[in-house]
Amino acid sequence: MASALERLGVVDLSSHLSGPHCAGLLADHGTDIIKVERPDRGDEARAIPPFVGGERAPFMTWNRIKRSVVLDLKDE
């Protein structure tokens, strides 16, 4: 059965917890999410412990199922 949200696409420009979590819930229901991160720092959640297998568990939990890209919006 097709999900009502699988034809949607969302660009996720958020960081930390609430925005990535909300976008993750949309992804759980079939929405195509593209996570955009800054080239200099990325998402601040990449530094939040605990670390599991060299990866940051909170970041990986909140950004599962998403595609990602690094984009410098200040550079033409």
pLDDT digits (tens, 9 = 90+) for 4-14: 888 899 999 99
Nearest-angstrom CA–CA distance, 76 and 6: 32
Q: Is residue 38 domain-resident? A: yes
Of residues 27 and 73, more confidence is placed in: 27
Q: Quick one: pLDDT at residue 73?
A: 84
- What pTM was estimated for this model as a whole? 0.83
Nearest-angstrom CA–CA distance, 33 and 64: 10
Q: Is residue 2 domain-resident? A: no
Nearest-angstrom CA–CA distance, 30 and 18: 19
Q: Is residue 29 domain-resident? A: yes
Please state the domain count of the chain: 1
Q: Is residue 46 domain-resident? A: yes
Q: Is residue 17 domain-resident? A: yes
Q: What is the tens place of the pLDDT at every residue in 19-62?
A: 999 999 999 999 999 999 999 888 888 888 999 988 899 899 99
Q: Which domain holds residue 13?
A: 9-70
Q: Quick one: pLDDT at residue 1?
A: 67
